Chains A and B, each alone.
Chain A
Amino acid sequence: METYYAPSDLKKFGNIADWQENLAKKFFDWYGDVFKAGDLSAREKSLIALAVAHTVQCPYCIDAYTQDTLEKGVTEKGMMEAVHVAAAIRSGSSLVHSVQMMNKAKKLSI
């Protein structure tokens, strides 16, 4: 069945260089550096990536960073906690905007 997202497309990520080699190279070099251990460990960065993957709802990123966090020894509970952090920020973001709604409603109302 044809779908917009094919799991096998993740393996073709490198092919973006076929149409713009220079920019792709810059991106992949930078990407590689981003995930190297710095003040944050490679494990922490992988968990952030997993959480962000759920926020941007990218199935490729979810596949990639589920595997990566497993490889880095994160527990399944820990992985789910990371997704809850992403979800909490998402919902918090909606809810905190309701202050604006309240401000506006109060201003408009007698």
Chain B
Amino acid sequence: MVKSLHARHHQLANQARQVEILENGLFAEGRLPSFQKKIAPLGHLPLKPTRIEIFQVNVGYMCNQVCKHCHVDAGPDRKEIMTRETMQLCLEALEKSNIRTLDITGGAPEMNPDFRWFVSEAKKRRVEEIIVRSNLTIIVSNPKFHDLPQFFSEHNVRVCSSLPFYNAGKTDRQRGEGVFADSIKALQMLNEVGYGKEGTGLLLDLVYNPVGAFLPGDQMALEHEFKTELAEHFGVVFNSLFTITNIPISRFLDFLLESGNYEDYMEKLVNAFNPAAVEGVMCRNTISVDWQGNLFDCDFNQMLGLGVNRKVKGHLRDFDLTELEKRDIVIGQHCFACTAGAGSSCQGATV
């Protein structure tokens, strides 16, 4: 299995180096207009939050897969993992803030030994919706995870699963050999307990991201395609498909640079800038928490080491929702991925 950039001591494992690449070159030389320049005339500079509705917690970078496009640089060799004490701080922040959605991500969040405890405790609180971002294969990777579909259903967790394509060729090329077959098995197990089926209230969403240096197509058309193909060939059903644009950071940035696609891809993102998508960028209604309890504007800023604006307290210990909702959101050239075309967020297209 391929190692993470981190384990390979790759230059892009250094967050500052990634920011340097993104901010210099094309943008510093004026060959492309900066994100700041594009949003200023729209009255969105500084970019401000609307209302924080989603509390996204990254419980660790460990994962059983090493996907080629991973913005987290996750993998089995990553040891960063959230402790129960930090999870407790998350629960306290949720309790005093009335945020309706807890969105748990990773790595493979299920690999955190306190994952089930965290979900159960959150369920006891006033959280309306718990989302788990599952890579699917974790469910079939080890007998101790085989009952996850049952656990999810008992806690009415909304399962949001990555599946970049409805066939093995493209999926395995991005996510690793055998990932598609295992993903299908896991989806069938989720369907068996009622996920994705009408009337059960158990939501199963799939996340599509392009397998390469191009933008996602129309979300509804792709959803139709996925539903038809997965039902016909594998008897798999699901609720919604979310299209996500690949963010030019970490392993996807490595791919772009190595394959000579970086400049064209950035230009494509800038040319596809959609002013309407700025309104709905997810950093305006989300707060992201890392494994140590540090706060970020989104999971991508987290991976770039760009913490929330220095004028606000940046750790869960001092969590202050009112203060956070007044902050200036930290932006960079990677933000063009969230405003391209129909927009992109963890909940799919935004326009």
Contact = CB atoms under 8 A, between A and B. Distances in A.
Interface of A: 41-43, 67, 70-73, 75-77
B221 A67 contact: no
Interface stretch (B81-89, B99-107, B196-204, B209-217): B209-217
3 closest Cβ pairs, A-B complex: A72-B217, A71-B217, A73-B222
Interface in B161-191: 165, 167, 169-170
B154 interface: no
B221 A73 contact: yes
B218 A72 contact: yes
A70 B214 contact: yes
A96 to B, nearest CB: 35
A15 B170 CA distance: 36
Contacts, number: 32
Interface residues on B, range: 10 to 19
B169 A42 contact: no
Contact of A75 (B169, B212, B216): B169
A71 B342 CA distance: 13
The prevalent SS among residues of A at the interface is: helix
B214 A67 contact: yes
B225 interface: yes
B167 A71 contact: no
Contacts of A67: 214
Contacts of A41: 221
A75 B167 contact: yes
B221 A43 contact: yes
Nearest to A43: B221
A71 B216 contact: yes
27 contacts: A41-B221, A42-B218, A42-B221, A43-B217, A67-B214, A70-B210, A70-B212, A70-B214, A71-B210, A71-B214, A71-B215, A71-B216, A71-B217, A72-B217, A72-B218, A72-B221, A72-B222, A73-B165, A73-B208, A73-B221, A73-B222, A73-B225, A75-B167, A75-B169, A75-B170, A76-B169, A77-B169
Contacts of A71: 210, 214-217
Contacts of B212: 70
A43 B223 CA distance: 13
Interface string B220-264: 011001000000000000000000000000000000000000000
Contacts of A70: 210, 212, 214
Nearest to A67: B214
A77 B212 CA distance: 16
Nearest to B211: A70
Nearest to A37: B221
A43 B221 CA distance: 9
Which of A67, A71, A73 has the most chain B CB within a 10 Å cutoff? Answer: A73
Interface string B74-114: 00000000000000000000000000000000000000000
Contacts of B218: 42, 72
Nearest to A75: B167
A70 B214 CA distance: 8
B161 to A, nearest CB: 17
A76 B170 CA distance: 9
